[in-house]
């Protein structure tokens, strides 16, 4: 079984453009999380999905950020009208569920650079 | 909101020295997990602690969960260069599904 995959691995975009980041979770994992990690900083929670429940969007920093997930499969994180402060590594993680005992498996991340 | 702080932010040790990072939460945690992130890599799960006062060991690593379930520590005995990376604690409150990650401690080990 493959791990969590993310694409692209690197993305350079101009300020003001929209970007879409993709995450493929481990098969069978019902929970999916997105985090942002600025250079040398910790992990900032953005959003999580659990099955067909309404996603927890409490970490999204602005309405320029949105995410979707189809069932228990791929998820996309969209950033509209990118700003330079959006430059960071965006990490996706999946877990078997959201039970407190489940560990999270992280993907390699997408490094976003906004010029 | 919940805050999870770690100290120190950074520590540089010589190989063979011991290392400890401390994790402190502003609220009581239902469980705590520890992750390691190598330079340029992604976080990798190390361990989970659930019970008050719990202590777990993995070879040279010792993890402890405080009695009040508001703090935790990771101790590495006789560090090796392979221990280099950033160590994050991450906790949940109650039945919350969201993990709040600590600020991280970056460990540098030199020969």
Q: Tell me the DSSP string of chain B.
A: ---EEEE-SEEEEETT--EEEEEEESS--SEEEEEEE-TTS--EEEEEE-STT-EEEETTEEEEE-TTSSEEEEEESS--GGG-EEEEEEEE-TT--PPEE---EEEEEE-
Mean pLDDT across chain A: 93
pLDDT reading at A97 higher than 80? no
Q: In B1-111, where does DSSP find H-type helix?
A: none
pLDDT reading at A101 higher than 80? no
pLDDT in tens, B36-53: 999 999 999 999 999 999
pLDDT in tens, B93-111: 876 678 899 999 999 999 9
Chain A residues touching B100 at Cβ < 8 A: 45
Tokens 């702080």 belong to which residue? B5
* Residue pairs between chains A and B whose CB atoms are closer than 8 Å: 53
Nearest to A42 among B45, B50, B101 (CB): B101
Chain B residues touching A33 at Cβ < 8 A: 99
Mean pLDDT across chain B: 94
**Can you give the pLDDT at residue A100?**
60
Chain B residues touching A43 at Cβ < 8 A: 43, 88, 90, 101
Share of chain B above pLDDT 90, in %: 90
Residues B79/B54/B35/A97 CA torsion (nearest 10 deg): 160
**Can you give the pLDDT at residue A111?**
98
**Can you give the pLDDT at residue A99?**
64
Nearest to B97 among A43, A48, A108 (CB): A48
Which of B3, B99, B103, B106 is the mutation pick for testing A, counting most A CBs within 10 A?
B99
**Angle at CA A92, nearest 5°, toward B1 and A41?**
55
pLDDT band at B2 (very low <50, low <70, confident <90, very high): confident
In whole angstroms, give the CA distance from residue A74 to residue A82.
22
Closest CA in chain A for residue B95: A100
In whole angstroms, give the CA distance from residue B17 to residue B107.
12
């Amino acid at each position: 079984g493959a791990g969590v995959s993310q694409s692209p691995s690197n993305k350079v975009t101009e300020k003001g453009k929209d970007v879409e980041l993709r995450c493929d979770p481990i098969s069978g994992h019902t929970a999916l999380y997105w985090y942002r990690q600025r250079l040398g900083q910790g992990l900032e929670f953005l959003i999580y999905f659990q099955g067909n429940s309404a996603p927890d969007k409490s970490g999204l920093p602005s309405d320029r950020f949105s995410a979707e997930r189809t069932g228990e499969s791929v998820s996309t994180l969209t950033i509209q009208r990118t700003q330079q402060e959006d430059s960071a590594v965006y990490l996706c993680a999946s877990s078997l569920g959201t039970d407190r005992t489940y560990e999270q498996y992280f993907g390699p991340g997408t490094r976003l650079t906004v010029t | 909101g919940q805050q999870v702080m770690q100290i120190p932010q950074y520590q540089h040790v010589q190989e063979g020295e011991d290392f400890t990072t401390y994790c402190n939460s502003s609220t009581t945690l239902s469980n705590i997990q520890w992750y390691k992130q190598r330079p340029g890599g992604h976080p990798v799960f190390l361990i989970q602690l659930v019970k008050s006062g719990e202590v777990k060991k993995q070879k040279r690593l010792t993890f402890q969960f405080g009695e009040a379930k508001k703090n935790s520590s990771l101790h590495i005995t006789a560090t090796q260069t392979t221990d280099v990376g950033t160590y994050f604690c991450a906790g949940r409150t109650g039945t919350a599904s969201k993990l709040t990650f600590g600020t991280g401690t970056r460990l540098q080990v030199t020969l």
